[in-house]
Amino acid sequence: MSIVLSNIIEDLPREDTTNYRAINNTLFKNNGKVCIVIDDDPTGNQTVYNIPLLTTWNLEVFISEFINKTPVFFILTNSRSLSNLETEKIYQQISKNIEKASQLTKQDYTIVSRSDSTLRGHFPLEPITIKLGAKLDDAITVFIPVMFEGGRVTVNDNHYVSDSENLIPVNEMPFANDHSFGYSKSDLKEYIEEKTKGEIEASCVYSFSIDKIRLEDVETLAKQIVSIPSNTYCIFNSLNYLDLDKVATALLLAEKVGKKIIYRTSSSFVPSYIGLKPKGLLEPKELISEELVNGGLTIVGSYVKKSSEQLQNVLSLYSEETIVEVDVSLIIQDNSQEYINSLVKTIDKNISKGKDVIVFTSRKLLTGPNSNSNIKMASTISQALVYLVNNINTRPRYLIAKGGITSHDLAIKGLGMIRSKVLGQLLPGIPVWEMGEETRFLKLPYVVFPGNVGNEDSLKIIIQKLIN
């Protein structure tokens, strides 16, 4: 049942308006640690800027970043699209390589396991695997899934999706029915009990209320964090960045005196923790030179309801020849190569003439007789979209990728990305990457548009900003 946000706010003490973000910047720099964000999806950098994004995780990668004193970087695993077994293997590799690189370079670190603000993902598998691989036996696990840019907040230990007027419990949203990561609880203590299959009881999860966060000083909060027993879970309620920035200060102070912490968070936590100064939205002139006359390219692979609604709202911006619908029923056939090549020619021809093109998979969701056939079908469709990007010859002015898996596959398999940089956001929660030297199109502005972010006009606004 939804509750009225204003009623909640009336019953809470006022926020502490101290500039904790600036304090966190100093604390983070002085703690001498590198912050490694292991991200299960390519959209978790949607709140930061000027931070490297890496798609490989061998030992040499971490040694290089540690030696170069890179203060913060993301490792993009895309594990949310993988099985439990595949995910565990990857997170073992990553955490062991981090620990070994740390020993070799004498560089300390903090790990943030970044995942979805609507509670979908391999939990508790990912933080547990990190803890074992990185030998963080005495660490507590701090769980903070708030993502204010998307209206995800935690109040009275319950996690909500806000529409600016009402708070809807996250377990009443479609996300809770996810076929891979479904759940039934919005109370985060109960969610942890549910996901750990009762191994961690709700009554054993520590919690910091908004009242406590707003009324107590950070030194007191830090002492309370330090006193939390090893190998336990702790959640922090937050309604906005004022709350979260103060929480991050207390956590940094706790770390300063030796408290070991593994973080399982959504994307709002990272800028609070590292003390990243807020930055306004990017302007098109910051991304695209006026000298570039080629058309831009938008690819919509996400099938979620919001993506389909956003897609319908943008088609009026395009002419008939620049709308490319990828017929999924043809793609999954064995003799689809000629059809796919014809799409490549259409896209290339229009982009070279300075026309912006939109590509999208047909909206009818096809399913197979079992889960394995569905996975194979999804992989075939993704490979087709990758093929389109691999084989166009003309560099687009920009590339917008709609959907988490779509944006991951197009960046890594389509463009060959190994290390890029997030420049900032075009709209709240919608980051832009700058492709690195190894990619097909150097310095291409690459817009990562999550499937479940924004309203029905958000995609249209983004395209209108960038359209030629």
CATH number for the domain running over 284-466 = 3.40.980.20
Tell me the whole-structure pTM to 2 decimals: 0.91
Tokens of 405: 């898996």
Residue 55: count of CB within 10 angstroms of its CB: 20
- Rounded to the nearest 10 degrees, the angle between the axes of helix 20-30 and helix 241-256 is 30
What phi and psi values does residue 445 have, to the nearest 5 degrees?
A: -70, 120
Instruction: Give the type of residue at 264.
Output: R
Q: Is 394 helix (H, G, I), strand (E, B) or coil?
A: coil
Q: Name the nearest CA neighbour of 465 among 447, 453, 451.
A: 447
* Helices 59-67 and 84-105, axial angle in degrees (round to 10): 40
> In terms of C-beta density within 10 A (0-12 exposed, 13-18 middle, 19 or more buried), how is residue 168 classed?
middle
pLDDT tens, the chain, 468 aa long:
788 888 888 999 999 999 999 999 999 999 999 999 999 988 889 999 999 999 999 999 999 999 999 999 999 999 998 889 999 999 999 999 999 999 999 999 999 999 999 999 999 999 999 999 999 989 999 999 999 988 999 999 999 999 878 999 999 998 899 888 999 999 999 999 999 999 999 999 999 999 999 999 999 999 999 999 999 999 999 999 999 999 999 999 999 999 999 999 999 999 999 999 999 999 998 998 878 889 999 999 877 777 888 889 999 999 999 999 999 888 888 788 999 999 999 999 999 999 999 999 887 776 666 656 666 777 788 899 999 999 999 999 999 999 888 899 999 999 999 999 999 999 988 999 999 889 999 999 999 988 778 888 999 999 999 986
By the 8 A CB rule, do 140 and 234 touch?
yes
The answer to whether the beta carbons of residues 162 and 282 sit under 8 Å apart is: no
The CATH 3.40.980.20 portion of the chain extends over: 284-466
Q: List, by residue range, all CATH 3.40.50.10840 domains of the chain.
A: 3-274
Give the span between the Cα atoms of 185 and 195, in whole angstroms: 10
Query: What tokens appear for 168 in the block?
Result: 């809807």
Q: State the DSSP H helix or E strand holding residue 185, giving kind and residue range, or none if neither.
A: none
What are the residues whose beta carbons fall under 8 Å from the beta carbon of 82, sequence distance 6 or more? Answer: 90
* Fold classification of 3-274 (topology level): Rossmann fold (3.40.50)
Phi/psi region, residue 451 (left: phi>0; alpha: psi -120 to 50; beta: rest), is alpha
